[in-house]
Chain A
Amino acid sequence: EVQLVESGGGLVQPGWSLRLSCTVSGFRISSNYMTWVRQAPGKGLEWVGNINRDGSEKNYVDSVKGRFTISRDNAKNSLYVEMNSLRVEDTAVYYCASAGAYSGGRSYYDSWGQGTLVTVSS
């Protein structure tokens, strides 16, 4: 059974740091791009960033560039995001997703975790 399990969320103050993890079972992530997507309470989905198969390429939305760092450990079948200088507007449920559906040179997220809530508040 395919499972992605996020962990590491919680309540932090503005300016603090947090590291989220996504542990995967049921398939090897080494073949897939991996992605973080977030959803602020009651709002829509926002793509945060992704990382290629060997970790040599990372892409981010402008609002997190320079503050968030996505990494992966294929040996541990895990994905991470280090979040620094957290802001109130970073408050959201953070989902990890694996891009295992392919079409036209693109890969799409066919597996998602259940999400972990990050709350940034003083």
Chain B
Amino acid sequence: DIQLTQSPSFLSASVGDRVTITCRASQGIASHLAWFQQKLGRAPRLLIYGASTLQSGVPSRFSGSGSGTEFTLTISSLQPEDSAIYFCEHFDSYPFTFGQGTRLDIK
């Protein structure tokens, strides 16, 4: 199975900061990766798919990049409502797997 490792596991940043989360795959997965945001007690929400395509309705401050084994999710200017846990997931081959998550807190 393909393992996804996210870093950091926890991040604290201030409103307006630029924030980057990394997701590394144990083998190449082309661009078959998505990023999800999950707020407490809520279902996950798709932010980015195909590694870099912004889902409709998601603010443009979110962006994704990467291919192969290293991927990043960037929030260009952090907002209070961005406090959440962020997960990556690969869609390359079965079974699909998720990263362990990155908890983002706002200072």
Q: Which residues of A contact B (CB under 8 A)?
A: 37, 44-47, 50, 59-62, 95, 101, 103-104, 106-110, 112-115
Contact = CB atoms under 8 A, between A and B. Distances in A.
12 contacts: A44-B87, A47-B89, A62-B95, A95-B43, A104-B30, A104-B31, A106-B91, A108-B46, A109-B34, A109-B46, A110-B49, A112-B44
A113 B43 CA distance: 7
A23 B104 CA distance: 32
Contacts, number: 63
A110 B44 CA distance: 9
B100 interface: yes
B50 A104 contact: yes
Interface residues of B, number: 27
Interface in B26-64: 30-32, 34, 36, 38, 42-46, 49-50, 53, 55
Main secondary structure of the interface of B (DSSP, over half): loop
Interface in B63-87: 87
Nearest to A46: B98
Given A101-B49, A103-B31, A110-B55, 17 more contacts: A37-B44, A44-B101, A45-B38, A45-B44, A47-B96, A47-B98, A61-B95, A101-B46, A101-B55, A104-B30, A107-B91, A108-B49, A108-B50, A108-B91, A109-B46, A110-B49, A112-B43
